[in-house]
Amino acid sequence: VLATLPAGALSYGEPAGHPVLREALAGLLARRRGVVAGADRVVVGQGVGHGLAVVAAWARRAGHTAIAVEDPGSTPIWELFNAHGLRPVPVPVDAGGLDPDRVAALTGVRLVMVTPAHQFPTGTVLAPDRRRALVAWADRVDGLVLEDDYDGDFRYDRAPVGALQALAPERVVYLGSASKSLAPALRLGWLVAPYALVGELAAQRRYHDLMSPVLDQLAFAELIRSGGYDRHLRLSLRTYRDRRETVRAVLAATRPDWTLSGIAAGLHVVAEVGENAPALVARAAAAGIRVPSLATYATTPAPGVPDALVLGYAHLRPAELTPALQALATV
């Protein structure tokens, strides 16, 4: 990038991101995730949290005061919404994900955030009829769906579930990042917005961080353009699938009484352990194993969903995973 960069590219640039990266991302997201993403819908950012902050700041200014969120869900993101003056309203998820009827029953809420590809943390996939119902609701109330595609790249046993955004590009803000696929410290993220919103979201950055560093943007664009990013994702998929297989095999051998779910995709599985999960969390901690329970992420126990363990495995090699899982099975 440095060898070919024109001097003019080192000046102040577009808050929405460098056109070369926006074009590369539009192609990548259309191809891999089915996102309806012309470059003119893309705003480059520095992570999904950053994208949500940009949308939240806009939403607050546009008069929104609350947002429906999945329960259990990502509590740091609830705090982020709170910090921007949007009250998170928890909506229980079940085996089909978030129930749009429960969102529609909320008074005065026209915003919802979902993780449709692999719900965090239950690992469920948002059911096709619920996807359609959710965007129909957004149309009806002039609302907006925020789609955090945090695990969309990591589906192991069949073709990935496409992005919800494709159903209604004018009702969904799609958000993604390279934090899971490359590294969080790179601060590479993106959103794809409705045409009615993209200019306002980019303008929002003018009064915050202005724009992302251009060298990082163009290096990432080159990684995408060269095919290196796709190769890296394929390699990561194989690596993480091997790790998931280790989880499945070790627990099948040691704890056949546990039930695993959310296993088709992502970087963690949920294990129903048939006993008091918090007590097991405490015993595991005493044995040097950090594993949260599902209830950690919930405001209220989900109906019909027993408490369980949330087992993150993607950062551990099989040789590290195996003894940790065996120790967990024992405690």
Please choose, out of 64-72, 184-192, 245-253, 286-294, the segment that lies near a second copy by the rule CB under 8 A.
Answer: 184-192
- Site size for a second copy (CB under 8 A): 31
Tell which one of 31, 65, 79, 105 touches a second copy (CB under 8 A). 79
Task: Using the minimum distance from each CB to a second copy, give the nearer residue, 136 or 186.
Answer: 186
Select from 238, 242, 236, 257 the least CA-distant residue to 321. 242
Could you say whether residue 252 binds a second copy (CB under 8 A)?
Answer: no
Which segment (124-132, 203-211, 253-261, 274-282) binds a second copy by CB under 8 A?
A: 203-211
Site for a second copy in 39-58 (CB under 8 A): 45-47, 49-50, 53
Give Cα separations from 310 to 74, 149, 271, 293, 301 (angstroms).
13, 19, 7, 6, 15
Q: Does 96 bind a second copy (CB under 8 A)?
A: no
Half-sphere exposure of 113 (CA within 13 A, CB side): 31
Nearest to 325 by CA among 236, 249, 241, 239: 249
Query: How many Cβ atoms from other residues are within 10 Å of residue 181's Cβ?
Result: 17
Please give the C-alpha separations between residue 258 and each of 30, 267, 306, in angstroms, as whole numbers: 38, 19, 12
Contact between 222 and a second copy per CB under 8 A = no
Q: Residue 274 has which token pair?
A: 């048939």
210 counts as binding a second copy under rule CB under 8 A? yes
Q: Which of 104, 186, 264, 316 binds a second copy (CB under 8 A)?
A: 186
Measured in Å, how far apart are the chain's first and last C-alpha atoms?
Answer: 52
Q: Rule CB under 8 A: is residue 228 a binding residue for a second copy?
A: no
Q: Which is nearer to a second copy, 207 or 319 (CB)?
A: 207
Instruction: Single out the residue of 2, 12, 157, 227 in contact with a second copy (rule: CB under 8 A).
Output: 12
Instruction: Pick the binder of a second copy from 128, 213, 228, 323 (CB under 8 A).
Output: 213
Q: Which helix (H) or strand (E) segment is 259 a member of? A: strand 259-261
Report the distance separating Cα 288 and Cα 310, nearest Å.
16
Residues that bind a second copy (CB under 8 A): 9-13, 45-47, 49-50, 53, 79-80, 83-84, 183-188, 207-216
